[in-house]
Amino acid sequence: MSNSTITILGTGYLGLTTAAVLSHAGFTVYAVEPNPDRLNAIKQGRSFFYEAGLDALVSAGLKNGTLIPTDSYAESIPNSDVVFSCVGTPDNPDGSSNLTYIFAAAEEAAKYLKPETVYAQKSTVPVGTGRKVMQLFTDKSVASPYISNPEFLSEGSSVLDTLTYDRLIFGGENQDAIQKVRDIFTHAETQAEATATLAGLPFKAKSNHHIIVSLESAELIKVTANSILALKISYANSIAKLADKAGADVVEVMDGIGADQRIGRAFLNAGRGYGGGCFPKDVSGLIATGLDYSVDLEIMQAAQSINESMPGYVVEKLQSALGGSVQGKKIAVLGLAFKANTSDTRRSPGVAMANTLAKAGAIVSAYDPQAGEEAGKELRPGIASATSIKDATKDTDAVVIATDWAEFKEYSLKNLTQTMKGKLIVDGMNCLEPANVKEAGLTYIGVGRS
Ligand code: UDX
């Protein structure tokens, strides 16, 4: 199995990470990318986004010839034992999933697939999509088996998440095809620690459990997993609003309930809400799928509207602490990526808050350790792009923390008191210790930490 050849369609966060990791597990991997700028970046040994450890794996894979970047289906697919579809699934304006790339990739691949080549779907798709791709293959007389193998990696830890994981899900009817793909990951597991070392990342083994289910269940597992995490966050944010009014601290509340193993502490951090390329679209996609099947997923609608209220809720707190208006106030927004350790600004609450503040007349300076360039396209004109915390917070009336980068959490509060003009810290991530902020002579406002 280790001499298998693999094609990965799409080199986004999912595709490039999977390609890079498998190219160090004894496989030859074609990474197919139609966008010339992205393809050129990969050919130079780097990704077009920031992800710890990934560039090291990409450049080493190129050097040893096991990672082959190309824009050609004709070059890659006829030589491959398995094709992983990792193309993007953005959302339509109505919130449903846009499957244009999924079907375009399948249609193009169909021209070159051999009957024994497995077509594995890693992209997040609504339940029912796999059947439609299978029908497309049947219509084109393509005999290749189709399976669902959804991915659960998180940005910021995607290399380690690919090397070691709680579970992999395999869904489909052709058990030989499922076994063929499982063998790839089972073999990759034997190389995981060495690959982590090459990437310069700390390795800690997990259960690497494989779960085999039906095609439809596999598709639904992926969206349901993301949705329940989104639901947890929105639940924590609802309780945060109550804690603000009732005089409780939501961090203490979540620590208290999270200690119950039936509940768990993960994804109960209240703050400015969730963003990114997955949760917002997976929640709206699930709602849309429900409607397709005449199932009203009210619970997810609630999660969505609570989430959409959170950046505004944080801005309102700031506004009232500054006497009711931010007009003419100098405000630093720290954190433009949708979370720490990535340069991804898709649906970023930090970008949304910076834009809302600027629109309300504030003089905004924004800083992110990695996402400044990407955020530049989305920020309102007039928002200053700072190059450091010091630069961003100079002479400001208030600082808003929108992403919990370690750099922000570790920054000296004493230095902050020296560069800021005012004293207000609005912690949209609840990532600072209120007592430390107060001790430094600053005013702390969190989310649900009255
Ligand atoms: C998510 C899933 O975690 C991953 O399994 C799936 O494959 C893709 O979607 P990702 O979007 O990369 O991963 O980031 P994640 O760490 O889940 O965070 C998503 C958003 O939720 C971020 O904006 C984050 O700041 C926010 N979040 C997370 C909270 O607001 N509170 C929390 O407790 C956790």
- As averages over each run of 10 residues, the pLDDT of the chain (450 residues) reads 89 97 97 97 96 97 98 97 97 95 98 98 97 98 98 96 96 98 96 97 94 98 98 98 98 98 98 97 97 97 98 98 97 98 97 98 98 95 97 98 98 96 98 97 96
Query: Which residue has a Cα nearest atom 20 of ligand 1?
Result: 274
**Token duo for residue 293:** 């099947």
Probe target for ligand 1 pocket from 124, 228, 229, 307, with the most ligand atoms within 8 Å of CB: 229
* Strand duo 82-85 + 424-427: pairing: unpaired
Residue with tokens 């798709």: 125
C-alpha distances (whole Å) from 146 to each of 132, 219, 440 are: 11, 13, 59
CA 377 from centre of chain: 19
Cα–Cα distance for residue pair 439/114, rounded to 1 Å: 67
In 3D, which of 16, 22, 10 has the Cα closest to residue 51?
16
355: Cβ below 6 Å to ligand 1? Answer: no
13: Cβ below 6 Å to ligand 1? Answer: no
- Identify the pLDDT of residue 3: 82
Cα–Cα distance for residue pair 338/318, rounded to 1 Å: 20
Ligand 1 mean position to 186 CA, how many Å? 26
> Quick check: is 278 catalytic?
yes
Q: Virtual CA dihedral for 439, 444, 447, 449, nearest 10 degrees?
A: 50
Residue with tokens 């051999």: 114
C-alpha distances (whole Å) from 382 to each of 315, 335, 352, 388 are: 18, 17, 15, 18
- Identify the pLDDT of residue 1: 60
Ligand 1 mean position to 367 CA, how many Å? 21
- Identify the pLDDT of residue 103: 98
Residues contacting 438, CB < 8 A, separation 6+: 444
155: Cβ below 6 Å to ligand 1? Answer: yes
Cα–Cα distance for residue pair 29/65, rounded to 1 Å: 9
User: For residue 185, what is the DSSP state?
Assistant: H
Ligand 1 mean position to 262 CA, how many Å? 20
66: Cβ below 6 Å to ligand 1? Answer: no
Q: In what order do the strands lie in the sheet with 424-427?
A: 384-385, 363-367, 330-334, 398-401, 424-427, 443-445
- Identify the pLDDT of residue 2: 67
Cα–Cα distance for residue pair 283/238, rounded to 1 Å: 17
Ligand 1 mean position to 343 CA, how many Å? 14
